[in-house]
Amino acid sequence: MSLSIKTVSTRPIAGQKPGTSGLRKKTKVFQEPHFLENFIQSIWTGIGGVAGKVLVLGGDGRHFNSQAAQVVLRMAAAGGAKKVIVGKRALLSTPAASNLIRTRGADGGIILSASHNPGGPEGDFGVKYNTANGGPAPESVTERIFEATKTITEYHIVDSQDVGLRIAETVMLGDMEIEIVDPVEDYAAMMAGIFDFAAIKALFRSGFKMRFDAMHAVTGPYATVLLEEELGAPPGTVINAIPLPDFGQGHPDPNPIWAKPLMDEMMGDHAPDFGAASDGDGDRNMIVGKGCYVTPSDSLAVLAANATLVSGYSGGLKGVARSMPTSKAVDRVAESLGIDCFETPTGWKFFGNLLDAGRATLCGEESAGTGSDHVREKDGLWAVLFWLNVLAVRKCSVADLMTSHWASYGRNYYSRHDYEDVESDAANGLVDHLRGQLADLPGKTFAGLTVESADEFAYDDPVDGSRSEGQGLRIHFDGGARVVMRLSGTGTSGATLRVYLERLETDPARFGIDPQEALAEVIAAAEAIAGIRSRTGRAAPDVIT
């Protein structure tokens, strides 16, 4: 049955440049006439047309997810796509979508999500395009998509009713096949192939208590199946498990600020042994033990150090990679394992080539993203299962594991200070001013710390030779402390300044200090160099992680 294809005249809409992770805007902006359609048509143009292609489609369930999915299906059909594999109710976590693209040999995928940004009619919406390796489109592709948004004159969409997406079945939309799949099944099977489920089951049987906060986002169904149904954790282990269009009015960003109820429970007298949370689209993770928060940078280092205890990585790691602002804790593990440690710009798309080329097995970012070569995205539940598997083998508490890790490698005290919704001119002025000073900083002393070197990070991809410039300003001090500053590429209003602070401590007597205190000099030096308070007009950061 062919359907009639409507050709709709349109004009370029400004501001459709994909950022760190896809295009993110206020939901209301995405709902404006032609906004979504223009961007989807530009994706088709950027990938050389969608005709004959197989795509994966899903999203994190936020407001406008279902409507947007219907638009993508109609536009894929109009463009002559062969098939779309879509998660039931248009749900798929980002790592599950990555897995489906890879296992089904799809040409690419569209993920409807603004990830850790709040959702709802007043919140944010987003669209990400992933390529055939299952990973976020590299800059060469997002550039082509952006170019297309600047010259678009029309888009094509079939005239049809909505496609029912509530039952796992295969239906046709005109000549295009739509396979509706259970969003959890394939992902859960993949996890069972990587981790020792019997060991984790035994851990739960022994009385080990856990709390997983799905934050009313997409991991609820995944965590319920994996932790409660397959691994035998008691019912109630997973909380806020039903994905809601506005995430229950929460902010689905798993960090001590936005996952405060979980933090409070974990720091309380009756804390479970282990706590974890994930973000809107399921690619981030927060790990917290009884009375012991684990920074994402430390988590990456711990997983690297203990990887061979897990069957999926028993053969050892080919290498590790971290984003530039992520702490150097994993570097020290890599050094002792004798493997490469790559430093990439912020954003998961930069890990894809290293993973594809077999040069890195584990990757991570300070923003609560950890992952491996099992998919081409960061993966929240995977990280949680990895921790459970390590704890099941080592039979110790999270706090004990951290203490022994720091005893072997030292402790990289680390914090990120975010100044949100800063006036764009002020934020750009701060960065421009700092950039102008970089060459003169070495040798100067600020708050007792002497600058050893200062530069703007640029990345030369060791696999395809591509170069990415302007990836953050970094200042190294004598003794190994460091400050990094960059502007966020995922925000939707004003500018967000991120200030990353780090200092290595090797004296075991000083491993128990509050991170803000341990970093006091570095924080003061950052302020003295960049004049953050006066330039942003803020007395303090909005979010400290």
Sheet holding 495-505, edge to edge: 445-446, 449-456, 473-477, 482-487, 495-505, 411-422, 543-544
| Strand 238-239, strand 274-278: pairing | unpaired
Contacts with ligand VG1: how many residues (CB under 6 A)? Answer: 18
Between CA 243 and CA 252 the distance in angstroms is 11
Least distance in angstroms from the C-beta of 543 to Co ion: 16
Residue 332 interacts with ligand VG1 (CB under 6 A): yes or no: no
> What residue 417 binds from ligand VG1, Co ion, none (CB within 5 to 8 A, per partner kind)?
none
Choices 76-84, 167-175, 459-467, 482-490 (CB under 6 A): range interacting with ligand VG1:
482-490
Residue 494 interacts with ligand VG1 (CB under 6 A): yes or no: no
Residue of 369, 410, 472, 541 that binds ligand VG1 (CB under 6 A): 369
Residue 489 interacts with ligand VG1 (CB under 6 A): yes or no: yes
| Strand 54-59, strand 449-456: pairing | unpaired
CA nearest 111: which of 180, 44, 58?
58
Token pair of 376, please?
A: 């081409």
Q: How many CB atoms within 10 Å of residue 249?
A: 12
| For helices 65-78 and 35-46, angle between their N-to-C axes, nearest 10 degrees | 50
Q: Convert residues 243-272 into a mask of x (bound to ligand VG1 by CB under 6 A) and - (unbound).
A: ------------------------------
Least distance in angstroms from the C-beta of 155 to ligand VG1: 26
Contact assessment for residue 192 and residue 200, using Cβ atoms and an 8 Å cutoff: no
| Rg, C-alpha atoms of the chain | 23
- Cβ distance to Co ion smaller for residue 128 or 503: 128
Structure-token match 């035994």, residue found: 202
Least distance in angstroms from the C-beta of 349 to ligand VG1: 9
Residue 545 interacts with ligand VG1 (CB under 6 A): yes or no: no
Least distance in angstroms from the C-beta of 455 to Co ion: 29
- Residue 140 neighbours by CB under 8 Å, 6+ apart: 466
Least distance in angstroms from the C-beta of 154 to ligand VG1: 31
Residue 283 interacts with ligand VG1 (CB under 6 A): yes or no: yes
- Cβ distance to ligand VG1 smaller for residue 224 or 346: 346
Least distance in angstroms from the C-beta of 124 to Co ion: 12
Residue 492 interacts with ligand VG1 (CB under 6 A): yes or no: no
Least distance in angstroms from the C-beta of 377 to ligand VG1: 9
- Cβ distance to ligand VG1 smaller for residue 111 or 339: 111
- Cβ distance to ligand VG1 smaller for residue 278 or 389: 278
Between CA 286 and CA 276 the distance in angstroms is 5
Q: How many CB atoms within 10 Å of residue 146?
A: 17
Residue 322 interacts with ligand VG1 (CB under 6 A): yes or no: no
- Cβ distance to ligand VG1 smaller for residue 156 or 284: 284
Residue of 13, 16, 18, 21 that binds ligand VG1 (CB under 6 A): 21
Residue of 367, 372, 415, 492 that binds ligand VG1 (CB under 6 A): 367
Return the H-helix or E-strand segment holding 430: helix 424-437
Active site (annotated) includes residue 323: no
Residue 347 interacts with ligand VG1 (CB under 6 A): yes or no: yes
Q: Which residues pair with 180 in a beta bridge?
A: 86
Between CA 231 and CA 218 the distance in angstroms is 19
- Which residue in the list 42, 98, 113, 115 is annotated as catalytic? 115
Query: Residues 296, 297, 302, 305: is their CA dihedral positive or negative?
Result: positive
Residue 60 interacts with ligand VG1 (CB under 6 A): yes or no: no
Q: Which amino acid is at 299?
A: S
Contact set with Co ion (CB under 5 A): 115, 279, 281, 283-284
> What residue 488 binds from Co ion, ligand VG1, none (CB within 5 to 8 A, per partner kind)?
ligand VG1
Between CA 76 and CA 84 the distance in angstroms is 8
Q: How many CB atoms within 10 Å of residue 139?
A: 18
Query: Residues 356, 386, 380, 487: is their CA dihedral positive or negative?
Result: negative
- Cβ distance to ligand VG1 smaller for residue 116 or 328: 116
Residue 130 interacts with ligand VG1 (CB under 6 A): yes or no: no
Residue 124 interacts with ligand VG1 (CB under 6 A): yes or no: no
Q: Convert residues 22-41 into a mask of x (bound to ligand VG1 by CB under 6 A) and - (unbound).
A: --------------------
> What residue 131 binds from ligand VG1, Co ion, none (CB within 5 to 8 A, per partner kind)?
none
Between CA 372 and CA 379 the distance in angstroms is 8
Between CA 285 and CA 277 the distance in angstroms is 6
Write out the residues near ligand VG1 by the rule CB under 6 A: 20-21, 115-116, 279, 283-284, 323, 346-348, 365, 367, 369, 488-490, 498
